């Protein structure tokens, strides 16, 4: 059975169970495109590894692609379409999750105070957009910052 046919049957099966299955269907479609129109039994571990590794560093998307392929191979093995899974048994170590930086009120105030220098003479109104900046900068009102919106509007007009 061709890889494309197994993927189509697997996607139809998952959707019949009530799943949207859009992301996995896209991933498996990319795998079919990368490998080409070959029988499932002709797909090798090199095909799977090349697809998983791609041309970029290891990321959480590597694990997402692996999970999609693992589901496909569980499906294929249970129906006798494949006799062995071609997926690697060892996974690369994923980079640590990004820890978000939370700005303090003082740091936000310093950033807002630096905004007039970044925008030139124009000062954006709080909650508005600075139209003179190359990339519009949206400034949000902070509880500790007591600026008059009218005075900011007047500065932007000058």
CA distance 93 to 88: 13
The contacts of residue 136 (CB under 8 Å, 6+ apart) are 129, 130
Q: Which residue has the higher pLDDT, 28 or 54?
A: 28
Mean pLDDT of the chain, nearest integer = 82
DSSP 144: T
So what's the pLDDT on residue 23? 96
Please indicate, yes or no, whether the overall pTM of this predicted structure exceeds 0.85.
no
The answer, yes or no, to whether residue 148 has pLDDT greater than 80, is: no
Q: What is the mean pLDDT of residues 14-39?
A: 96
CA distance 104 to 110: 10
So what's the pLDDT on residue 156? 47
Q: Is residue 132 a contact partner of residue 120, using CB atoms and an 8 Å limit?
A: yes
Residue that the structure tokens 């009530």 belong to: 18
The contacts of residue 128 (CB under 8 Å, 6+ apart) are 138, 139, 152, 156
108-128: pLDDT as tens digits: 999 888 877 666 655 555 555
The answer, yes or no, to whether residue 157 has pLDDT greater than 80, is: no
CA distance 139 to 157: 17
Q: Is residue 133 a contact partner of residue 116, using CB atoms and an 8 Å limit?
A: no
The answer, yes or no, to whether residue 27 has pLDDT greater than 60, is: yes
Question: Residue 148: helix, strand or coil by DSSP?
Answer: coil
So what's the pLDDT on residue 158? 45
pLDDT band at 155 (very low <50, low <70, confident <90, very high): very low
52-99: pLDDT as tens digits: 998 888 888 999 999 999 999 999 999 999 999 999 988 888 888 888
Q: Where exactly are the structural domains of the chain?
A: 3-78, 105-157
CB atoms closer than 10 angstroms to residue 107: 11
Q: Which residue has the higher pLDDT, 22 or 93?
A: 22
């Amino acid at each position: 059975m061709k890889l494309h046919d197994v993927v189509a049957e697997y996607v139809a099966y998952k959707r019949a169970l009530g799943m949207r299955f859009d992301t996995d269907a896209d991933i498996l479609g990319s795998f079919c495109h990368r490998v080409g129109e070959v029988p499932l039994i002709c797909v090798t571990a090199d095909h799977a590894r090349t697809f998983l590794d791609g041309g970029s560093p290891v990321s959480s998307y590597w694990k997402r692609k692996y999970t999609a392929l693992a589901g496909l191979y569980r499906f294929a093995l249970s129906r006798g379409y494949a006799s062995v899974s071609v997926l690697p048994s060892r996974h690369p170590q994923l980079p640590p999750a990004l820890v978000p930086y939370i700005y303090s009120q003082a740091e936000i105030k310093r950033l807002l105070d630096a905004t007039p220098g970044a925008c030139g003479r124009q000062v954006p109104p709080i909650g508005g957009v600075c139209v003179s900046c190359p990339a519009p900068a949206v400034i949000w009102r902070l509880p500790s910052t007591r600026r008059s919106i009218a005075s900011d509007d007047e500065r932007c007009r000058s």
